[in-house]
Amino acid sequence: MYRVIEAGQLADRIFQIWVEAPHVARHALAGQFLVIRIDEHGERIPLTVSAVSGDLVRIIFMAVGKTTHQLSALKAGDFIRDVAGPLGKPSEIGMRGTCVVVGGGAGIASCPIIARAARDAGNRVIGIIGARNAGYLILEDEMREACDDLLVATDDGSRGFHGFAADVLKEVIAGRKVDCVWIIGPAIMMKVTSEVTRPKGIRTFVSLNPIMVDGTGMCGSCRVQVGGETKFACVDGPEFDAHQVDFDLLMQRQRTYFDEEKVSLERYHEHACRCGEGGHHG
Amino acid sequence: MGERPARDRIRDFFEVDCGLSAEEAVAEAERCMQCKKPSCVRGCPVEIDIPAFIARIAERDFRGAARIIKEANLLPAVCGRVCPQEVQCEGACILGGKEMPVRIGELERFVADREREQGLVIPPVAEPTGKRVAVVGSGPAGLTAAAELARDGHMVTVFESLHEPGGVLMYGIPSFRLPKDVVQAEIDQLRGMGVKILTNHLAGASIPVAELHAYDAVFIGTGAGLPFFMNIPGEQLNGVYSANEFLTRVNLMHADRFPEYDTPVRHAGRVVVVGGGNVAMDAARVARRLGARVTLVYRRREEDLPARRAEVIRAREEGVEFELCANPVRIIGTHFVTGVECVRMEMCSLDDSGRPEPSPLKGSNFTIDADMVIQAIGQGPNPLLIRKIEGITYGRKGNIVVDEEGRSSLEKVFAAGDVATGAATVILAMGGAKKAARAIDRMLREDQRDR
């Protein structure tokens, strides 16, 4: 059992939890993830290690499915049944020169820890964060602190640049030499945004988020195609060379349990209504 | 008591084999010849004193029988169910020549179940030695090593990456062959002996390799958890599973009870399982229980099926269809699987294992409709930890190279089970782990004397 130390809402449908998990917190590096199982009936879901502090790990998630809705109802003092990690390979930081870290939506959660690691390694770091509108934007202050420069974009122009993170990235790489780019967000955003750096051949990493079960290379549920080869995102990734990734396949496989996920969420909401208090029943 | 009829058992995940009643067990035990030089014991990888425990059953001293078994094997309820006795103890039984061999496996299971029902007796442990041993993995090898080392008085910590200990006993073998409360009870017994089990701990990550090396000895029993795929077109389609994934979703995560449990599994009308081993039989029989029509595709002949004979028979009884001498060449579908294109296989010259080498028959392609495909064509050692242990020697297939007592190329680091041998059986992993535990104990005691 792992204790929730702090829990709260960051933006529209986006939540954060600080959970006590020393075995993860003490060893996690930028780019790695953990797997949680909320209770005895829970599924195992992977979430990026968004920050660590002593024995605490932070996870940030958007409430979309049953498990994330249930997570969003947790309060300080509650418990998460299982937290396993750190899993996956850390980001290949290194001394590269100028790095750009691009985050989209809930994917911004993964950015500060990478930006900080890149800056600590001696890189100049430019951050770009984008969201549908100002209400969905998270971690702006944290990114401002972690980066040398931060650029903000919203699809509707309600904050910062009016447009996509991809548009901002295009301008940044047109204006100066960029050596390495990280792009983290929904699959479609990573697909579109990584096209920006392809013509210039800029080293670009994306962090893939396929469906996983164990997260340790045991089941192959998370297999992705990278450069025509099958890779397991959990152990060979989660970060891969963006220009080699088959994003369409990733998105296809993410929809495997579309119907089941709907059933599960509806059942949860029904149950939550009957219990009368947001589904939280300790 | 025997087996439940197939039409009942494909409706649920309860055990197929109901075990022996006390009367049946005593009658079976009385058949034992009590050989002076028992060949059954030589057939047992963990060297249980088989005639001695059978004699106790015949005397109706079931507790005494349990004590004798547990001196050699702390997982008897597991072994009684999943060991391939027909090629081990029972295969060596002298009665086998004339009539049926003594049903040693059933007797072992009877004794273990009986003891569990009446309260397991925690085996005594030796005086504490003050030595600390790290055991990585809590499958058959890890549990056996942990039990033996705890019995010798060492302080044992087991690291398990999943949320439940038991390894393949929990995620791989379905509950209709091995009920999970049976596994849990035998693991609880280890806890009673002082073994500490840390779940959610991935060795090499949650516990860095340097911290492992700080123990007086390290035993690696991480198994063969890396699933192989066939590398044929269409494998990325939704609805194509490794047997590991399919079985883990159902056995460990209870996807058969979705949405009561959160983990889903595809509910398919027609399933193709590829492979002919025990894992393939397990996957096929689980798929039947989820209500699918199941076809098992295997590239060689019936007599070459590597699965236990009894499991093949049970799979057939449960309505699994066999497409033998056939091999998939392509999985068909857009986004989701709709079928599997196979080719007929011709049996050619015998290979090293004495089995015929199959080769595809040109122009014999045919298609099986399917909305789910499960690949059960084997698995290799998971390289995750091994790659992080600097200086350890591993083989071409990723297995840790060890001597006959489980010593790796690194001092104080031992390994046994599938991670050393490649995918094999539960009992061989336990046999190897027992030898390694003995070698570790000897090393730790010499270490103590030297001081």
Predicted pLDDT at A53? 96
Q: Which amino acid is at A103?
A: G
The residue of chain A with its CA nearest to that of B257 is A41
- In sequence order, what are the residues at sequence separation of 6 or more whose Cβ sits closer than 8 angstroms to the Cβ of residue A261? A65, A66, B264
Asked if the Cβ–Cβ distance from B382 to A66 is below 8 Å, we say no
**Mode of pairing for the β-strands spanning A56-62 and A14-20:** antiparallel
Residues, chain B, total?
A: 451
Tens digit of each residue's pLDDT (9 = 90 or more) over B185-205: 999 999 999 999 999 999 999
Reported confidence tier of residue A281, pLDDT bands at 50, 70, 90? very low
Tens digit of each residue's pLDDT (9 = 90 or more) over B144-175: 999 999 999 999 999 999 999 999 999 999 99
Is residue A131 less than 8 Å (CB to CB) from chain B? no
Tens digit of each residue's pLDDT (9 = 90 or more) over A27-83: 999 999 999 999 999 999 999 999 999 999 999 999 999 999 999 999 999 999 999
Of all helices (H) and strands (E), which one includes residue B315? Answer: helix B309-317
Please report where in the chains the tokens 């219990």 appear, as a residue: A275
Q: Model ipTM? A: 0.93
The residue of chain B with its CA nearest to that of A271 is B260
Is residue A244 less than 8 Å (CB to CB) from chain B? no
Asked if the Cβ–Cβ distance from A43 to B202 is below 8 Å, we say no
CA distance A238 to A211: 12
Q: Which residue, among B206, B261, B379, would best test binding to A if mutated, counting the most A CBs under 10 Å from its CB?
A: B206
CA distance B102 to A109: 63
The residue of chain B with its CA nearest to that of A85 is B206
Helix (H, G, I), strand (E, B) or coil at B235: coil
Least confident range from A264-273, B137-146, B179-188: namely A264-273
Number of H helices, E strands in chain B: 18, 16
What is the least distance, in Å, from the CA of B68 to any CA of chain A?
36
CA distance B43 to B299: 30
Is residue B258 less than 8 Å (CB to CB) from chain A? yes
pLDDT greater than 60 at residue A223: yes
Is residue A105 less than 8 Å (CB to CB) from chain B? no
Q: Which residue, among A37, A218, A234, A235, would best test binding to B if mutated, counting the most B CBs under 10 Å from its CB?
A: A218
CA distance B289 to A14: 39
Tens digit of each residue's pLDDT (9 = 90 or more) over A181-194: 999 999 999 999 99
What is the least distance, in Å, from the CA of A115 to any CA of chain B?
22
Predicted pLDDT at B302? 92
Distances (CA, A) of A71 to A7, A31, A61, A129, B184: 9, 22, 9, 24, 28
Asked if the Cβ–Cβ distance from B245 to A37 is below 8 Å, we say no
List A219's β-bridge partners, or say none.
none
Is residue A158 less than 8 Å (CB to CB) from chain B? no
Asked if the Cβ–Cβ distance from B229 to A230 is below 8 Å, we say yes
pLDDT greater than 70 at residue A276: no
pLDDT greater than 70 at residue A253: yes
**Dihedral pair phi/psi, residue B432, rounded to 5°:** -65, -40
Half-sphere exposure of A67 (CA within 13 A, CB side): 24
Is residue B232 less than 8 Å (CB to CB) from chain A? no
Q: Which of A44, A217, A223 sits opposite B382 (nearest CB)?
A: A217
CA distance B85 to B106: 10
Helix (H, G, I), strand (E, B) or coil at B251: helix
